[in-house]
């Protein structure tokens, strides 16, 4: 099991991603969020085949497809959070915190 938490920024929304790798290799997702758009993503993005997801170009992933359908904000960091959590749950990456610092 892997868990990711995304503090999205100025919107103030927090998203938690739980990913479990099943015996068949599929990763099941449980996403919870304060954001109404991500709540719609959570209803649709329930399982992912990690090898198909992680080794595609980003625009061809199911994660980006579903995020694009429900989230009007292409810069939302939840997309990356979901993909990174899937990688860790599937054993394709080690868990490590990632950060984005933005200043003016």
Average pLDDT, the chain: 95
Are 103 and 15 a contacting pair, CB within 8 Å?
Answer: no
pLDDT at residue 101, as a whole number: 86
Q: Is residue 95 part of a domain?
A: no
- Predicted confidence at residue 44, as pLDDT, reads 98
- For residue 104, being part of any structural domain is answered with no
Judge contact between 78 and 33, C-beta under 8 A. Answer: yes
Please name which of 68, 22, 23 lies closest in space to residue 46, comparing C-alpha atoms.
22
Q: Is 102 a member of any domain?
A: no
- Burial environment of residue 50 by CB neighbours within 10 A (0 to 12, 13 to 18, 19 or more): buried
Domain that holds residue 21: 2-89
Digit-coded pLDDT (tens) for 23-66: 899 999 999 999 999 999 999 999 999 999 999 999 999 999 99
What percentage of residues in the chain have a pLDDT greater than 70? 100
In a domain, 73, yes or no: yes
Q: At 40, which CATH number?
A: 3.90.1010.10
């Amino acid at each position: 099991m892997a868990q990711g938490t995304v503090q999205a920024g100025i919107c103030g929304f927090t998203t938690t991603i739980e990913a479990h790798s099943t015996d068949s290799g599929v990763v099941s997702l449980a996403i919870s969020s304060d954001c109404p758009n991500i709540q719609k993503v959570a209803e649709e993005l329930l399982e992912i085949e990690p090898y198909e997801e992680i080794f595609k170009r980003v625009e061809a992933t199911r994660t980006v497809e579903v995020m694009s359908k429900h989230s009007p904000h292409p810069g939302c960091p939840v997309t990356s959070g979901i993909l990174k959590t899937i990688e860790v749950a599937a054993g394709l990456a080690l868990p490590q915190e990632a950060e984005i610092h933005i200043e003016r």
